[in-house]
A = this chain, B = another copy of it.
Amino acid sequence: MGSGIWIVDRHTDHLEFHYRVQEVLFSGHTTYQRVDIVRTASLGKVLFLDGRIQSAESDEFIYHESLVHPALVTHPQPQRVLIMGGGEGATLREVLRHPSVQKAVMVDIDRQLVDLCDRLLPEWHQGTLHNPRAELQHGDARAFVEQAPHNAYDVIISDLTEPIEGGPSVMLFTVEFYDQLASRLTSDGLFVAQAGSADPVYPDFVASLYQTLQEVFPRVHVYWAFIPSFQLPWAFIIASKRYDPTALSLPELEQRLGERQLQTRYYSARLHPAMFAIPPYLEDVLRQRGRLIRDQHAFIWQA
């Protein structure tokens, strides 16, 4: 019986994912985007933004642990962290697992989305949206960063949707913005970004982001993780002023994770270096398919 209610993620004009819906928790528009929150049989609750899957209860831990821990573990003592985007609150949740963090600021342009997630996705934020170490800001992340004082953050995390035509994140991946952002990091600070698909077919975004960040930061490393509900291997990039995330030995990693008492289901001391081992096809892509992303020539994701 295929009858019933389904949600369709038109991944490209050539590939669609159809998920059977058990319950529609929310379906509507905020000022900035279309939001669908549904319950599915196989993935649990799922958040879709502008028709694209964003986060599934069954494996959001893979994405959020992969986004947060490699950078925060590379930093010996992260105290002040900025999250750009991150509406579900799960990035915040992972950041606050690090006991050294005194303040985590999350700036998401879409207050209505954050309120929906606060109410409907407690499995994601687990209350951390109201944690006293957390500070929520609503507004454009670029403006927020540019108004921030210099040396304000040890780690900045870019947990933004992909830059689709007319979307709110288009101007948040340019070299001009990254120049501003770098100066708000401390002299040993790190920046980490989710960087889109790492598959052989659509790797242009990560390649361009990689090239762009190399203009600004002395050390730039691509790593990846396998997020089943994204149907794709997923790329992340760490851009660092001083620390090298690939230089930590296994004993050092084990010690740090032990000291911080990190409870994780995907990330581990053994996974940390493995995530930075990327295949030759992706290395080729990083060398060949990128371009510098500028304010005047922003990157728009094409399906």
Residue among A8, A51, A232 with most chain B CB within 10 A: A8
A200-B228, A268-B279, A274-B273 are known contacts. Are A14 and B20 too (CB-CB below 8 A)? yes
Q: Once the chains are docked, how many angstroms separate the CA of A17 from the CA of B228?
A: 13
Q: Is residue A12 contacting chain B, with contact meaning CB distance below 8 A?
A: yes
Q: Which residues of B contact A59 (CB under 8 A)?
A: 199-201
Whether A2 lies near B2 (C-beta < 8 A) is: yes
The interface bits of chain A over 174-209 (1 if a CB of B lies within 8 angstroms of the residue's CB, else 0) are 000000000000000000000000111100000000
- Give the contacts of A251-303 with B (CB-CB under 8 A): 264-268, 270-271, 273-275, 277-281, 284
Task: Tell me, in angstroms, the Cα distance from A227 to B9 when the chains sit together.
Answer: 19
| A interface majority secondary structure | mixed
At the interface, yes or no: A36 with Cβ under 8 Å from chain B? yes
Instruction: Evaluate contact between A58 and B4: CB separation under 8 angstroms.
Output: no
Tell whether A52 is near chain B: CB-to-CB under 8 Å.
yes
- Within 8 Å by CB of A14, from B24, B42, B266, lies B42
A40 interface neighbour in B7, B14, B275, Cβ under 8 Å = B14
Contact call B6/A2, Cβ cutoff below 8 A: no
Q: Let me know if A1 is at the binding interface, CB within 8 A.
A: yes
| 8 Å CB interface, A220-272 against B | 224, 226, 228, 231-233, 264-268, 270-271
A15 pairs with B20, CB closer than 8 A = yes
A5 touches B36 (CB 8 A): yes
> How far apart sit A51 and B5, CA to CA, in the bound complex (Å)?
9
Which of B51, B228, B279 contacts A201, CB < 8 Å? B228
The reply to whether A15 and B13 form a contact with Cβ atoms under 8 Å apart is no
List 10 tightest A-B contacts by C-beta distance, closest first: A3-B51, A274-B277, A274-B274, A226-B233, A14-B41, A199-B228, A226-B226, A16-B18, A14-B20, A231-B231
In the complex, besides A3-B9, A5-B6, 9 extra interface pairs with C-beta distance below 8 angstroms are A3-B51, A4-B7, A5-B24, A6-B7, A15-B20, A16-B18, A58-B201, A228-B232, A231-B231
Ordered by A's residue number, 18 sampled pairs between the chains whose C-beta atoms are within 8 Å are A1-B51, A2-B10, A3-B8, A6-B8, A12-B41, A13-B20, A14-B19, A14-B41, A15-B20, A15-B40, A21-B27, A24-B27, A43-B201, A59-B199, A224-B226, A228-B232, A265-B279, A265-B280
